[in-house]
Amino acid sequence: MQKRGLSTIVITLILILVSLVSVGIVWVVVRNLIQTGTEGVSLGQFSLSAKIMGVIVDNSSNNITLTVKRNVGKGDLSGINFVFSNGTDTEIITRNVSLKELEQMKFDFHLNFSVSEVVTVTLIPSIRSGGNQILGNVLGIYNFKTGTKTEPTININEWVKNSQPVFRGQFGIASDSAIIKIGNEYRMYYTCLIPSTDRPAICLANSSNGLNWQNIDRSENIGGLDIEGLIFRGYDGTWDERVETPYVIYNGTHYLLYYIGYTDEDIAAGGYPEGMRTPLGMAYSEDGINNFVRYTNNPVINPTDNWYDHNGVVSEIILKESVGYVMVYAGYKFTGSPSDGTYIIGASSSDGISWTKTTEPILRPTDWSPSEWINWGVGEPGFIKGPDGKYYLFVTSIGPNEENRSVGVGVSDNPFGPYTMKNETIVKPGPNWLDISGVIAPEVLFEDNKIRMWYSANNFSVNFPPYGSVHEISVGYAESKWPLDLN
């Protein structure tokens, strides 16, 4: 094999890519192997494509001339890797060029093996992304023996995950993220930890792009530790000594913060399996950062006795409609009848305070088949209204193995269903370390013709100095081009 101007690892990856394309495997597999760091990779960078317009083979000089035209499509092209193969040997030649959209260019090559033996040439772009050079999707393949040109079909609806978390909590916990965008600023309200009391609380981080986050510049000293970004917590002797799973909406005058609350005694008694019940509370603030005031008549939603949310109203997601609000949440039911499990339930409100639940769950494990990925329940939803006016429900799969939780999706014309569900989950655990133990609690936004997802990434064994091996929950990230593939 011959190569010119490429590192060993890049050569290896190109050869893997060529072999994968030959058997129809999408480049997203390889891309996940080489994506590093905390910078996100936008799928828009991979919409770039090109055509091989002309081929000239000169046997006397052992030269090949290729004419390449770039199609319309986003992507910061920095070069093209030409992979020539005679069926046995491979020669890779890289040309560092910045071909503009619809621009055409000729490339001349003098090969080290006979051009009369060349079978194929494969074109793979080099793309600038976040200061790094990465490989994109195959642009095209030309077969010298048959004269055929192939532009591989690429499934742009694949979900692409970051290989590193986009945010890690101060003490190993950053979960249940709720993200809103205000102008050019992203805010992430999330469940954090107060180590001295071992209580969850609610903290706030911000970002300019949704990928690089930092806690807001405020803290509260509790038990000798400064808790960064802390904006809301429980107090001794109240029904909500412990607060978590935040969600925030703006009603035109105030930011409404919804959260679940429970007590230290609930945990001491054994938590959910032993009968703990978690209602939904609400607080409000003028700027969404300072001086959150609890609603006087909290909780705003209580679990219903002997119903599908008997043990908990959890992981609420709220959409503001033209008239009023709609909510979906996970209902926990662990004792008595109806059947134990987790369900997705809906509620509606005219003011965001007084809520009316749906008469039956929106979604339960028996609602479609095959349903192996949710055979024990559906939990922690995400919820958006798409540009097509349809509602998209993202749910966490609850299976017999806690370490295999993943995220699925369905669509409906009505916020409360019925939903047509994709039969397979879309974002799964691993293979990277951050979410090897589970992907849960998706939070989704529609932006720039793509769906952006932040989720709680579980790893049950992370070295987190100075605490040693801990169960870390960080914020993972994935995205997909619109429209979603629901087949």
Collect all residues with Cβ–Cβ distance below 8 Å to 261 and sequence separation of at least 6: 234, 238, 239, 240, 241, 242, 243, 278, 279, 281, 298, 299
The pLDDT of residue 161: 87
- Clarify whether residues 181 and 94 are in a common domain: no
In this predicted structure, what is the pLDDT of residue 127? 82
Final residue of a domain: which of 97, 121, 150? 150
What does each C-alpha distance from 295 to 121, 283, 300 come to in angstroms? Answer: 67, 5, 8
Q: Number of folded domains in the chain?
A: 2
350-399 per-position pLDDT tens digit: 999 999 999 999 998 766 555 566 666 789 999 999 999 999 999 998 76
Same domain, 381 and 332: yes
In-domain check, residue 253: yes
pLDDT at 474 over 60: yes
Which residue, 112, 130, 150, sits at the end of a domain? 150
Mean pLDDT for the chain? 84
- For the whole prediction, is pTM greater than 0.75? no
In terms of domains, do 305 and 168 share one? yes
Going by pLDDT thresholds of 50, 70 and 90, the confidence category of residue 159 is confident
Residues 75, 45 contacting (CB under 8 angstroms): yes
The whole-number pLDDT of residue 37 equals 33
Q: Domain containing 84: what range?
A: 2-150
pLDDT of residue 448: 86
Q: What confidence category does residue 70 fall into, taking pLDDT thresholds of 50, 70 and 90?
A: confident
The CATH code of the domain that includes 59 is: 2.60.40
- The answer as to whether 358 is a domain residue is yes
How far is the C-alpha of 435 from the C-alpha of 175, rounded, in Å?
A: 12
In a domain, 188, yes or no: yes
User: What DSSP designation does 484 have?
Assistant: P
Give the other-Cβ count within 10 Å of 387's Cβ: 10
Structure tokens at 192: 């954090």
Residues 140 and 9 in one domain: yes
Phi, psi of 44 (to 5 degrees): -60, -25
| Spatial distance between the Cα atoms of 215 and 221, rounded to a whole number of angstroms | 15
Between 2-16, 34-48, 174-188, 296-310, the lowest mean confidence (pLDDT) is in 34-48
238 lies in some domain: yes
